[in-house]
Structure 1
Amino acid sequence: MQLPAYWIPRPQARQDPRTRASFDRLLATALDHGPDRPVDYRLDAPKWQFLCHVADRTDIVLHGTGDPGIRRFEPRQPSDSLEFSNREAVFAATDGIWPMFYAVLDRERHPGVRTCNACIRCADAGGGLGEPHYFFPLSRTALARQPWRTGTVYLLPATGFERQPPITSGDSAVRVAQAASASPVEPAARLQVDPGDFPFLDRVHGHDDTVLTTRAAADPGGFPWFEG
């Protein structure tokens, strides 16, 4: 499946055994210390590569937020028209980069900001999943004010999370990197991230909120309603 050019592919990451081993050691230490102590990140590889390693290779899902002191995530009802997301649940990402956007986006100081971002993987001809692709839009007026902050990505045990089913698009299947738990979840570890840790900070797309609302109302299934 050929995606439009505004979908951003995941950058190339280090795949050598030494780097993977350092990620595994850091993860083991983080899980041993628990969420009361943030991950002491001193590796040469950027944080997004560590988080992608965790999401891709372990039984952990991720949640990004500006609150560094969450001890228990409670199910909440989001404002979302999509069937999978329109329910009371704890939501998390099965990808390492996507939750970083929520961690560094300062909604508290910019309450009017609107975004309809996503991380997807498309099935290839053999039925396997391709590399992740991302779309990060933001209200143009908010983007001009650079609404970024230091945030936290929480590592949550994947047990009890339901992964979003694939979405059929023509002859292809698209999987959104999202999972939901109907029960409360206690984090296993947490990692502080700064705006500079988010690899697509300069690729966030500004949109007009009125245009987005009009297009979404006219074509509810037309996500992401790209405004070129």
Structure 2
Amino acid sequence: MRDHTIQNRLKRYLLDRLQLLKIEELDLPAQAKDEFDDIYHHSILPGEGKFISYKSDYPVYQFLNYLIENKNVLVHGSNNHMIDSFEPKESTLFNGRPIKAVFAASDGVWSLFFSVKNRRDYAGSLRNLCLTVPTKKGIRRYYYFSIINEEVEDIWTSGTIYILPKDQFNRGGIRDEWVCEQNVKPLAKLSVASTDFPFIEEIRTHAESESILKTILKALFFKRNNNSK
């Protein structure tokens, strides 16, 4: 246990000094927790797969991360608003291993990116990373998001976050990637807009010909160019 704590401190120390996007541990007031618990009990726990009526003034990503950290659920972001059941599809884990599965994440911001990035009219690659570190206060979260640097109209769109039962999933290629090799029905759905994604103005860009290694190194060690998208 002591060794694990030291490893997390070292990991946090190193990540805090890189040029990654960061979200601090949740520090919600009692009012927010009460609102989120009420939504969970009325709209998610019944497991009917219906859309949540989200009227809270607190950011959506805080709601999602609160659910993930406290309610044994995962999330999946999509441009498709009409999924009633997820079926396993051929894909690869973050570490490159092929798998036929339904994918989910234990991070709300990561899934928000995939829900509001317009993928219907986008043929380029998406490069992204989500890293989390447990701390005494909760979970600290780190990211980078990169899209191709060509001019593309309608980069963003509305989307849907699907709330999924965690007990049907196993961990995938990295800590916050989860997979299920069976069909999965959502417990609930949440409509989201591009404005719900907290890093909408901080997306990096890359050339399609650029190596993934170069993209990662830029994200880790170089500040974002304010003139980029």
Structure showing the higher strand proportion among its residues = 2
How far off is 1:79 after superposition? 5.2
CA, structure 1 residues 226+155, in 2 after alignment: closer, same or farther (shift >3 Å)? same
CA distance in 2 between partners of 1:73 and 1:56 (Å): 23
CA distance in 1 between partners of 2:38 and 2:117 (Å): 29
CA, structure 1 residues 129+13, in 2 after alignment: closer, same or farther (shift >3 Å)? closer
| 2:76 is the counterpart of 1:63 | yes
Q: Report the counterpart of residue 164 of structure 1 in structure 2.
A: 172
Identity %: 23
How far off is 1:107 after superposition? 0.9
CA distance in 1 between partners of 2:54 and 2:131 (Å): 27
SS of residue paired to 2:126: coil
Deviation by residue 1:115-149 (Cα, 9 ceiling, x = unmatched):
1212112467x9x985111111111115x545100
Q: Report the counterpart of residue 59 of structure 2 in structure 1.
A: 46
Q: What root-mean-square deviation, in Å, do the aligned CA atoms of Structure 1 and Structure 2 show?
A: 2.5
| 2:99 is the counterpart of 1:99 | no
Query: Counterparts in 2 of 1:207-222, with a 5 A limit?
Result: 207-212=206-211, 215=213
How far off is 1:198 after superposition? 0.5
Q: Report the counterpart of residue 218 of structure 2 in structure 1.
A: 226
How far off is 1:113 after superposition? 2.1
| 2:42 is the counterpart of 1:34 | no
Q: Report the counterpart of residue 120 of structure 1 in structure 2.
A: 131
CA distance in 2 between partners of 1:182 and 1:226 (Å): 34
Query: Counterparts in 2 of 1:7-26, with a 5 A limit?
Result: 7-11=20-24, 13-26=26-39
Q: Report the counterpart of residue 133 of structure 1 in structure 2.
A: 142
CA distance in 1 between partners of 2:183 and 2:218 (Å): 34
User: When the two structures are superposed, what TM-score results if normalisation uses the length of structure 2?
Assistant: 0.80
How far off is 1:225 after superposition? 4.4
Structure showing the higher helix proportion among its residues = 2
Q: Report the counterpart of residue 108 of structure 1 in structure 2.
A: 120
SS of residue paired to 1:156: strand
**Amino acid across the alignment from 1:137:** S
